[in-house]
Amino acid sequence: MILQHANGIRQWLGRGLAALFLGLASQAGIVQGQAPRPPVVDTLPAPAPTDQEPAQAEAAAIDAAAEPAIEPAVAELPAIEPQAAEASPAGAAKETANPATRAIHDPNVKKASCTGCGGLLGPMLSGGGSCANGKCVPGRQNCSWCNYDTVWGRIIGGLYDCICCPDQCYEPRYLLEANAAFYQDGARPVTMTRIRWDAQLNYHFPDTAEYFWARIGAKGPNNPERSVDFHELSIYQETATGNFSFFVETPFRQVGPQDNPNASNFGDLNLGTKSLLLDCELLQIAFQFKTYILSGNFGKGLGTGHVSLEPSLLTTVKLANATYLQTQVAEWIPLGGDNNHAGAAIHYHFSVNHLFWRAHNDACAVVGTFEFNGVSFQDGLFTTPAGVIENAGGHSMLHLGPGLRMSLCNKLDLGFGMGIGVSDHGPDQLYRFDFRYRF
Grade residue 16 by pLDDT with cuts at 50, 70 and 90.
Answer: low
| pLDDT for the residue numbered 119 | 59
Question: Does the structure show a pLDDT above 50 at 91?
Answer: no
Handedness of CA 355, 357, 361, 363 (dihedral sign): negative
| pLDDT for the residue numbered 100 | 47
Give the helix ranges, DSSP H, for 233-283: none
The partner residues of 55 in beta bridges, in order of sequence, read none
| pLDDT for the residue numbered 172 | 93
Residues 6+ apart with CB under 8 A from 339: none
Burial class (CB in 10 A: 0-12, 13-18, 19+), 402: middle
| pLDDT for the residue numbered 329 | 98
Question: Does the structure show a pLDDT above 90 at 90?
Answer: no
Average pLDDT over residues 298-308: 97
| pLDDT for the residue numbered 104 | 67
- Asked if 415 and 403 touch (Cβ cutoff 8 Å), the reply is yes
- Asked if 407 and 413 touch (Cβ cutoff 8 Å), the reply is yes
N- to C-terminal Cα distance for the chain?
Answer: 113
Grade residue 33 by pLDDT with cuts at 50, 70 and 90.
Answer: very low
Grade residue 63 by pLDDT with cuts at 50, 70 and 90.
Answer: low
Cα dihedral 127/366/430/402 (nearest 10): -30
DSSP 337-368: S-TTT---EEEEEEEEEEEEEE-GGGSEEEEE
- Asked if 207 and 383 touch (Cβ cutoff 8 Å), the reply is yes
Percent of the chain with pLDDT over 90: 60
* pLDDT tens per residue across span 174-187: 999 999 999 999 99
Grade residue 151 by pLDDT with cuts at 50, 70 and 90.
Answer: confident
Distance CA 307, CA 291 (A): 7
Question: Does the structure show a pLDDT above 50 at 106?
Answer: yes
Largest pairwise CA distance in the chain: 159
Question: Does the structure show a pLDDT above 70 at 12?
Answer: no
Question: Shortest CA distance to 289 belongs to which of 333, 255, 226?
Answer: 333
Residues 6+ apart with CB under 8 A from 314: 184, 185, 186, 187, 274, 284, 285, 286, 287, 288, 326, 327, 328
Average pLDDT over residues 169-178: 92
| pLDDT for the residue numbered 86 | 45
Instruction: Indicate the pTM of the whole model.
Output: 0.70
- Asked if 178 and 284 touch (Cβ cutoff 8 Å), the reply is yes
| pLDDT for the residue numbered 168 | 77
230 secondary structure, DSSP code: E
Residues 6+ apart with CB under 8 A from 387: 217, 224
Average pLDDT over residues 311-320: 96
The partner residues of 233 in beta bridges, in order of sequence, read 197, 252
| pLDDT for the residue numbered 147 | 63
| pLDDT for the residue numbered 21 | 60
Based on its alpha-carbon atoms, the radius of gyration of the chain, rounded to whole angstroms, reads 45
Average pLDDT over residues 320-349: 97
Cα dihedral 131/136/142/143 (nearest 10): -10
Q: How many residues does the chain have?
A: 439
**Distance (Å) of CA 7 to CA 3, 10, 47, 117, 144:** 6, 5, 9, 86, 90
Distance CA 202, CA 307 (A): 25
User: How many C-beta atoms lie closer than 10 Å to residue 32's C-beta?
Assistant: 6
Question: Does the structure show a pLDDT above 90 at 285?
Answer: yes
Angle among Cα 367, 371, 377 to the nearest 5 degrees reads 155
| pLDDT for the residue numbered 342 | 97
Grade residue 265 by pLDDT with cuts at 50, 70 and 90.
Answer: very high
Question: Does the structure show a pLDDT above 80 at 171?
Answer: yes
Grade residue 143 by pLDDT with cuts at 50, 70 and 90.
Answer: low
159 secondary structure, DSSP code: H
Phi then psi for residue 146, to 5 deg, are: -95, 160
Question: Does the structure show a pLDDT above 80 at 78?
Answer: no
Cα dihedral 172/178/181/184 (nearest 10): -40
Question: Shortest CA distance to 245 belongs to which of 2, 50, 388, 438?
Answer: 438
426 secondary structure, DSSP code: B
Of the two residues 422 and 76, the one the predictor is more confident about is 422
| pLDDT for the residue numbered 118 | 54
Secondary structure (3-state) at 13: helix
Question: Does the structure show a pLDDT above 50 at 432?
Answer: yes
Average pLDDT over residues 215-227: 96
Average pLDDT over residues 201-217: 97
| pLDDT for the residue numbered 154 | 76
Grade residue 396 by pLDDT with cuts at 50, 70 and 90.
Answer: very high
